[in-house]
């Protein structure tokens, strides 16, 4: 029977139940479930308990309809029971966008107006989805995500960074940015962005299949990683910097001790000899000190790593700590937000000056001494491409960092047949030290 399609339809679609009647039915079932099952079970149910709760919800929904002399049919009852079960023991409407329901998404955006958009893997554009959760439902889902992390979104703390926990169906997890309605008009809901990480380690073949780079370029980067070269991956927003670094980590020699420092943890390296160090902000209202990327790098230096990885350098203090470590002979890699190699060098020098008091010339020399290879990734024709791979000269030119291109993307190449020009050779690290 059309009209009663689920909890997330707009009220205008509910021709059999008014919004008030629908809410009364939902609350009636939820109240009964809360009486029958302990809070600890509802917060973290096992598979057997989840099945018991689902069966009980189905029975209660059916009874609630009969009490109101409504016969919507088994299909509609099952749909509402499924929605309610997600709401009670899952993440409600969000479960419809997460694995196993969907495995094709890389990002989820929930607007303060209630609009929901998604970005599919491999795409750089947002699409609107036909989901209409109520404001209370969005808050409930957010609280369920933040509660176990001892975090709260409120007017005094209107911006939160959190994790989407890894699960059996979504082993990569994700990261959450949430903003309180007081800072995101029209203020109906919190604004939430969820970046989903890969559900399995990123393989180099994945990048080749999608035309991110050529096989020849991949072989060169394999050699660079195997030689322990110090690599900077630069790119703009959503260009795939972290995905590229994750793929390249497959080329690190087996048995190497890898220490990765992230904020938050994103890179998934499929081996046992990886130690993650994760930054954390200062706990608001307490004297608990923040643990910054720079702290992680300094601590990693005392852990005898074969290779250091920073997921993304976001400030000058982290950059200086990393470059100082790389200058002492450590191998490593990091990502940085910039649209061109020149911009990467300029912005790194700027943040090192602003955050760590390093003068521009000294910052440039530190970059040249600490980094062997730059990989620039960008978006061309709405497809992610590596647009340049370049050696970094150990000598400055006119006081600036100098790049010696090895590969450069041919901007005139057809969309379906990308091409790169070979302009140079990879310098061996020994020849640069």
User: pLDDT of 236-276, one tens digit each?
Assistant: 988 999 999 999 999 999 999 999 999 888 888 889 999 99
> Is 6 inside any structural domain?
no
Is the same domain home to 420 and 383? yes
pLDDT digits (tens, 9 = 90+) for 98-114: 998 999 999 999 999 99
Is the same domain home to 142 and 254? no
Is the same domain home to 241 and 345? yes
> Is 173 inside any structural domain?
yes
The helix/strand/coil state of 230 is coil
% residues pLDDT > 70 (the chain)? 94
Is the same domain home to 60 and 170? no
**pLDDT for residue 74:** 83
Residue where a domain terminates, one of 167, 196, 225: 196
Domain total of the chain: 3
- 228 pLDDT higher than 80: yes
For 379-403, give one letter per residue: b (16+ CB within 10 A) or e: beeebbbbbbbbbbeeeeeeebbbb
**pLDDT for residue 303:** 95
**CA-based torsion, 127, 238, 379, 243: positive or negative:** negative
**pLDDT for residue 430:** 63
Residue where a domain terminates, one of 89, 117, 138: 89
The stretch 292-309 carries a mean pLDDT of: 94
> Is 249 inside any structural domain?
yes
**CA-based torsion, 269, 272, 275, 280: positive or negative:** positive
Is the same domain home to 129 and 215? no
- Which residue would you say has higher pLDDT here, 79 or 113? 113
Rounded-to-integer distance, Cα 127 and Cα 108, Å: 10
pLDDT band at 394 (very low <50, low <70, confident <90, very high): very high
Is the same domain home to 191 and 209? no
Contact 279, 262 (CB under 8 A): yes
Strand runs labelled E in 64-173: 105-110, 116-120, 127-128, 159-164
Instruction: Look up the domain containing 274 and give its range.
Output: 204-432
- 79 pLDDT higher than 70: yes
pLDDT band at 12 (very low <50, low <70, confident <90, very high): very low
**pLDDT for residue 432:** 56
Is the same domain home to 399 and 295? yes
Residue carrying structure tokens 């998604």: 118
> Is 2 inside any structural domain?
no
Rounded-to-integer distance, Cα 320 and Cα 257, Å: 22
User: Strands 258-262, 274-278: parallel, antiparallel or unpaired by DSSP?
Assistant: parallel
Domain with residue 343: its CATH number is 3.40.50.300
Rounded-to-integer distance, Cα 306 and Cα 68, Å: 68
The stretch 417-425 carries a mean pLDDT of: 96
Is the same domain home to 114 and 213? no
Least confident of 186-200, 242-256, 412-426: 186-200
> Is 34 inside any structural domain?
yes
Domain with residue 154: its CATH number is 3.30.450.90
**pLDDT for residue 16:** 60
Is the same domain home to 38 and 156? no
Residue where a domain terminates, one of 73, 89, 105: 89
> Is 3 inside any structural domain?
no
Average confidence score pLDDT of the chain: 89
φ, ψ dihedrals at 410, nearest 5°:
-80, 105
Is the same domain home to 283 and 161? no
> Is 245 inside any structural domain?
yes
pLDDT band at 402 (very low <50, low <70, confident <90, very high): very high
% residues pLDDT > 90 (the chain)? 63
Is the same domain home to 241 and 385? yes
**pLDDT for residue 40:** 78
Q: How far is CA 178 from the centre of its chain?
A: 13
**pLDDT for residue 388:** 98
pLDDT digits (tens, 9 = 90+) for 33-55: 989 988 878 877 778 888 899 99
> Is 223 inside any structural domain?
yes
Is the same domain home to 237 and 178? no
pLDDT band at 339 (very low <50, low <70, confident <90, very high): very high
- 13 pLDDT higher than 50: no
């Amino acid at each position: 029977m059309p009209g009663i399609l689920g909890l997330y339809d707009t009220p205008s679609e509910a021709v059999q139940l008014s919004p008030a009647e629908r809410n009364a039915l939902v609350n009636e079932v939820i109240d009964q479930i809360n009486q029958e099952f302990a809070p600890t079970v509802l917060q973290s149910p096992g598979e057997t308990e989840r099945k018991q709760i689902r069966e009980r919800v189905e029975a209660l929904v059916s009874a609630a309809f009969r009490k109101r002399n409504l016969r919507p049919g088994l299909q509609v009852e099952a749909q509402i029971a499924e929605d309610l079960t997600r709401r009670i023991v899952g993440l409600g409407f969000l479960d419809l966008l997460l694995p196993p329901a969907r495995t094709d998404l890389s990002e989820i955006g929930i607007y303060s107006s209630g609009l929901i958009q998604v970005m599919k893997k491999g795409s750089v554009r947002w699409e609107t989805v036909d989901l209409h959760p109520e404001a209370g439902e969005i808050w409930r889902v957010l609280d369920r995500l933040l509660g176990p992390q001892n975090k709260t979104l409120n007017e005094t703390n209107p911006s939160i960074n959190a994790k989407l926990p890894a699960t059996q169906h979504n082993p990569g997890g994700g990261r959450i940015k949430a903003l309180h309605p007081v800072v995101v008009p029209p203020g109906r809901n919190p604004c939430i962005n969820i970046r989903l990480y890969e559900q399995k380690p990123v393989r180099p073949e994945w990048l080749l299949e999608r035309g991110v780079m050529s096989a020849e370029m991949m072989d060169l980067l394999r050699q660079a990683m195997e030689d322990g070269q110090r690599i900077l991956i630069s790119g703009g927003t959503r260009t795939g910097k972290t995905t590229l670094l994750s793929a390249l980590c497959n080329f690190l020699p087996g048995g190497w001790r890898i220490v990765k420092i992230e904020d938050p943890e994103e890179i998934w390296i499929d081996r046992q000899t990886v130690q993650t160090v994760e930054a954390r902000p200062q706990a608001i209202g307490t004297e608990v000190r923040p643990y910054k990327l720079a702290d992680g790098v300094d601590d990693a230096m005392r852990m005898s790593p074969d290779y250091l990885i920073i997921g993304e350098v976001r400030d000058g203090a982290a950059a200086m700590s990393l470059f100082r470590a790389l200058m002492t002979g450590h191998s490593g890699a990091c990502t940085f937000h910039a649209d061109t190699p020149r911009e990467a060098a300029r912005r790194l020098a700027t943040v090192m000056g602003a955050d760590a008091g390093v003068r521009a010339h000294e910052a440039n020399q530190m970059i040249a001494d600490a980094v062997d290879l730059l990989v620039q990734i960008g978006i061309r024709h709405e497809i992610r491409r590596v647009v340049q791979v370049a050696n970094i000269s150990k000598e400055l030119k006119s006081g600036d960092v100098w790049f010696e291109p090895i590969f450069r993307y041919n901007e005139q190449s057809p969309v379906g047949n990308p091409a790169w020009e070979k302009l140079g050779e990879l310098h061996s690290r020994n020849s640069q030290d």
